[in-house]
Amino acid sequence: MIPIVSVRVVEAFTAAQLPLIRAAVEEVLAVSPRVVVLELDECPAIDAAGVAYVVDLHRRLRRDERRLEVHHPTERVRRVLTHLRLDRILPVRPAASSLDGDAPAAGAAVVGVR
C-alpha cells in the first residue's frame, strides 16, 4: 500500500469538471493509498457538486480506514470549506504561501487535473 497520493486540481472544482476529477481520483484509489490528498492551491472555486464529491470521497475513504486531506486551498475555496465546516471533519492544511518549507510527503505521487 502506498502511504500518500496527491491529486492536484487546477480547474474549478465544479459539476462541469467533476467527471475529469472523479476519473483522476479513481486512478489514485486503484493503488490503495492510505491517504489521498486533494491539492487545491490552483483551484479557483468549488461549487455544491464539488463539495458533495469531497464529502462522499471522505466517507468512502473512512469506510476503508483511509483518510482524505485537503491541502493548500485557495482563499475562495478555503472560505467555502470553512463556511460549511468541512474543516472540522477532514484535515485542511493552509495555503502554501503561509507554510515554510512545506514539501510533498516522501513517496507521494501527483496526478494533475486540467
The residue among 38, 39, 89 whose CA lies nearest residue 62 is 89
Confidence of residue 2 (pLDDT cuts 50, 70, 90): confident
28 to each of 18, 24, 35, 106, 110, how far by Cα in Å? 15, 6, 10, 16, 9
Does this model's pTM top 0.85? My answer is no
* 26 in Cβ contact with 111 (< 8 Å): no
pLDDT digits (tens, 9 = 90+) for 72-111: 999 999 999 999 999 999 999 987 554 444 444 444 444 4
Q: What is the pLDDT of residue 95?
A: 72
Alpha-carbon span 110 to 114, nearest angstrom: 13
